[in-house]
């Protein structure tokens, strides 16, 4: 894949690993590599779920400030599009995704985690959007995804102050979904994805799209999105398999092929 991001697949679960020591700072090279990895795992038929992992010590401690320090307004007008594009690509992986968070997930690192469906954090992890301390605001989706996840008041608290939150506080406000010991973060992320391996891939993809797209529109539009995706699943073999198995053998016994 690249020197800073790699993809490994084991047992139907892909791991996208950030590897830019010491803090996995998200420079342009890392952003591009993450987007490419997201496209790859989204297209692979042998992948049912995806873990984003920064290693045992740190998830990602934000954007590369040295890279941005000397950018002008016109430079950032051009760069800001790609800054949002890589997290948008991560969020649109058509499979369940989990951020396995160790150490720091700050700024752009927190925004990468926010682009995932679920977040598992180490008990000693720290999360936050400290961009305000640099005189700027989050620019890779933080103001929008954080608000949708924890609500406007909590998002404003974190973004206005730039403060870091502990794993326990992150769990309490809904920023993460599970807190485990640091040594168990990666395994816990895989356990969260295990139920989807061998599942009806097209139905899971449709469910994710309906939820994510529906959250961005009014209720009537969201219901229409759901209706179209629901009807479309009647063209899949997994729908035939699932209903036949239910009628003949009862619920939960179908063997899906992902098509």
Residue 147 lies in a domain: yes
Short-list 6, 32, 33, CA closest to 19: 6
Q: Which of 154, 171, 196 is the last residue in one of the domains?
A: 196
Residue 161 lies in a domain: yes
Residue 258 lies in a domain: no
131 is catalytic: yes
Same domain, 130 and 219: no
pLDDT value of residue 9: 98
Instruction: Give dist(CA 109, CA 34) in Å, integer.
Output: 12
From 111, 216, 224, 257, the catalytic residue? 111
Which residues share a beta bridge with 126? Answer: 104, 166
Q: CATH number, domain at 135?
A: 3.90.226.10
**pTM of the entire predicted model:** 0.93
Instruction: Give dist(CA 142, CA 137) in Å, integer.
Output: 8
Same domain, 163 and 35: yes
From 131, 216, 224, 257, the catalytic residue? 131
Residue 74 lies in a domain: yes
Residue 259 lies in a domain: no
pLDDT tens series, the chain, 259 aa: 589 999 999 999 999 999 999 999 999 899 999 999 999 999 999 999 999 999 999 999 887 788 888 888 888 887 777 788 999 999 999 999 999 999 999 999 999 999 999 999 999 999 999 999 999 999 999 999 999 999 999 999 999 999 999 999 999 999 999 999 999 999 999 999 999 999 999 999 999 999 999 999 999 999 999 999 999 999 999 999 999 999 999 998 999 998 8
- CA 207 distance to own-chain centroid: 15
Same domain, 66 and 141: yes
Domain count, the chain: 2
Same domain, 151 and 112: yes
Domain that holds residue 240: 201-249
Same domain, 106 and 209: no
pLDDT digits (tens, 9 = 90+) for 69-85: 888 888 888 777 778 89
Same domain, 89 and 205: no
Same domain, 188 and 226: no
Residue 256 lies in a domain: no
* Angle, in degrees to the nearest 10, between helices 73-91 and 28-43: 30
Same domain, 133 and 216: no
Same domain, 24 and 47: yes
pLDDT digits (tens, 9 = 90+) for 223-255: 999 999 999 999 999 999 999 999 999 998 999
């Amino acid at each position: 894949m690249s020197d800073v991001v790699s993809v490994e697949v084991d047992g139907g679960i892909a791991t996208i690993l950030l590897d830019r020591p010491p803090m996995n700072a998200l420079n342009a090279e890392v952003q591009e590599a993450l987007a490419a990895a997201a496209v790859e795992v989204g297209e692979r038929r042998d992948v049912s779920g995806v873990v984003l992992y920064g290693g045992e010590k740190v998830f990602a401690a934000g954007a590369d400030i040295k890279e941005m320090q000397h950018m002008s307004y016109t430079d950032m007008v051009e760069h800001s599009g790609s800054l949002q594009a890589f997290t948008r690509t991560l969020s649109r992986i058509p499979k369940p995704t989990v951020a396995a968070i160790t150490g720091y997930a700050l700024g752009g690192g927190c925004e990468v985690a926010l682009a995932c469906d679920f977040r598992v954090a180490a008990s000693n992890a720290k999360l936050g959007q400290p961009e305000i301390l640099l005189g700027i605001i989050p620019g890779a989706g933080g103001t929008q995804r954080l608000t949708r996840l924890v609500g406007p008041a909590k998002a404003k608290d974190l973004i206005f102050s730039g403060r870091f939150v502990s794993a326990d506080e992150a769990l309490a406000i809904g920023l993460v979904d599970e807190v485990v010991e640091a040594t168990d973060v990666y395994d816990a992320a895989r356990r969260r994805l295990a139920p989807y391996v061998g599942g009806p891939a097209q139905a899971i993809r449709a469910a994710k799209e309906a939820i994510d797209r529906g959250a961005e529109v009014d209720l009537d539009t969201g219901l229409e999105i759901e209706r179209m995706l629901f009807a479309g699943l009647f063209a899949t073999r997994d729908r035939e398999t699932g209903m036949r198995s239910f009628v003949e053998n009862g619920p939960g016994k179908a063997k899906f092929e992902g098509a």
